[in-house]
Amino acid sequence: MFIGRVKGSLWATRKDEKLSGLKFLVVELDEYNGPQHSLVAADNTGAGLDDLVLVSTGSAARMSLENPEIPVDAVIVGIIDSVEIDQ
Amino acid sequence: MFIGRVKGSLWATRKDEKLSGLKFLVVELDEYNGPQHSLVAADNTGAGLDDLVLVSTGSAARMSLENPEIPVDAVIVGIIDSVEIDQ
Amino acid sequence: MFIGRVKGSLWATRKDEKLSGLKFLVVELDEYNGPQHSLVAADNTGAGLDDLVLVSTGSAARMSLENPEIPVDAVIVGIIDSVEIDQ
Amino acid sequence: MFIGRVKGSLWATRKDEKLSGLKFLVVELDEYNGPQHSLVAADNTGAGLDDLVLVSTGSAARMSLENPEIPVDAVIVGIIDSVEIDQ
Amino acid sequence: MFIGRVKGSLWATRKDEKLSGLKFLVVELDEYNGPQHSLVAADNTGAGLDDLVLVSTGSAARMSLENPEIPVDAVIVGIIDSVEIDQ
């Protein structure tokens, strides 16, 4: 999974109808995570702007949705309370 | 998912017959997304040149097609109205 | 999917028997595609040296083969006639 | 799979309930592995701080969990005793 | 698939029991392949140190194992005899 920070959201009226009702957040990946800077994730936890979140990607993401046939490849699966890193 | 902009399209007469009827668009990934510059996505929303689009990849992409056995690993699942980023 | 150009081929006598009969081509990914320079793809279209090709990766690749249980993660699914990019 | 070193852990009270009971460790990927610096993996082996671990990602990760429908895309599948690299 | 060279091996006594009996080799990815320098792959072909090998990744990797529920995301599926690249 990735650690990221919610930086914004996006709207799309013309979209695959299976995506209806989902909230799409732009998540900036923690620089700790390498070259990928951000991605768009469906939100399943009620995350808000600036929340530090845990993002699951690939086929695992669909396991977090009620309907595993929704064409989504990244989902916010948790709002992080704290991260402890041993320097 | 990725945010990208439609930059062009491609044609291939000699191809896997399961791909017949699909439109293939070249999508330049938003520089906000890191090192991958572009990819080719099947279009499911009627997106056109310069449209800002939402792209789903991996096995999720096939969930957006009528037949999930089509060998496609990226699909445009939405045409973006607006993106709000907290600077 | 990726756009790439066929740059060569490879042979492996000692291999998983499910791979027998498949042709393996080395495909240089279009610089337009970011940091990944090349990959090896099974060929399903009769592509030849220097052909511009469309490559599907991940689980989608196996959908292009008769037997979806072949351990292949990239397949050439089309030989590109033309790419139109809006400069 | 990736070789990585456990650098910390994270807690998230508000999360997908399927994730309950899982321990999440921050794993710094061995610089030997390229641009991705770290990821978050569920721990299945009792790994601790500074342990050198083997991480499996993608759909394979869920195969290491009792319930393959848990939305997790990376799991620690082994604590490495030794790595022998031919210089 | 990736082209890589076997550079070493690793041992892990404390691991997911489904991994028992598998040999894990460290494969340095051919610089021709971009930013990812190396990965760990289960060996299915009897590859040895310095062998040039073909590696399949993602869910395809598990198709090369007797039991597709083994949590492995990369497998050596062939020992390469020769690679012909058109300069």
Q: Write down the residue that tokens 């083969």 correspond to.
A: C65
Contact between D58 and E62 using a beta-carbon 8 Å cutoff:
no
Give the integer Cα–Cα distance in Å for E76 and A87: 36
Of B14-18, C28-32, E51-55, minimum mean pLDDT range: C28-32
Query: Is the pLDDT confidence value at B31 over 90?
Result: no
Determine how many CB atoms are found less than 10 A away from the CB of residue D5: 18
Listed in sequence order, the DSSP H helices in E1-87 are 59-62
Mean of the per-residue pLDDT values of chain C: 93
DSSP β-bridge partners for residue E40: E26
D59: Cβ contacts below 8 Å, ≥ 6 apart: A58, A59, A60, B59, C59, E58, E59
8 A C-beta contact, residue B56 and residue A18: no
Give the integer Cα–Cα distance in Å for A80 and D28: 18
Give the integer Cα–Cα distance in Å for A53 and A56: 10
Query: Is the pLDDT confidence value at B71 over 70?
Result: yes
Give the integer Cα–Cα distance in Å for A27 and A10: 11
Residues from D in contact with E at Cβ < 8 Å:
1-3, 32-35, 44-46, 54, 56-64, 75, 77-86
Taking alpha carbons only, the member of B86, D78, C10, C45 closest to residue E12 is D78
Distances (CA, A) of D5 to A50, D30, D48, D56, D72: 28, 7, 9, 14, 19
Query: What pLDDT shows up at residue A33?
Result: 61
Give the integer Cα–Cα distance in Å for D72 and D21: 13
Query: What pLDDT shows up at residue A74?
Result: 98
ipTM of the complex: 0.94
Query: What pLDDT shows up at residue E44?
Result: 85
Of A48-52, A64-68, E10-14, minimum mean pLDDT range: A64-68
- pLDDT tens-digit profile of D8-54? 999 999 999 999 999 999 999 976 666 668 999 999 899 999 999 99
Distances (CA, A) of C86 to B52, C29, C79: 14, 20, 21
Query: What pLDDT shows up at residue A30?
Result: 76
Confidence of residue A85 (pLDDT cuts 50, 70, 90): very high
- pLDDT tens-digit profile of A37-56? 899 999 989 999 999 999 99
Residues from B in contact with C at Cβ < 8 Å:
7-16, 18-19, 24, 26, 35-41, 49-50, 58-59, 61-62, 69-74
E28: Cβ contacts below 8 Å, ≥ 6 apart: E4, E5, E7, E37, E38
Confidence of residue B47 (pLDDT cuts 50, 70, 90): very high
Query: What pLDDT shows up at residue C44?
Result: 85
- pLDDT tens-digit profile of C31-56? 666 666 899 999 989 999 999 999 99
C40: tokens are 């090896």
Considering only residues E60 and C30, tell me which one the structure prediction assigns the higher pLDDT.
E60
Cα dihedral B3→B5→B11→B17 (10° resolution): 20
Of D23-27, D82-86, E52-56, minimum mean pLDDT range: D82-86
Query: What pLDDT shows up at residue C87?
Result: 72
Interface test with B, best of A10, A30, A67 (most B CBs within 10 A): A10
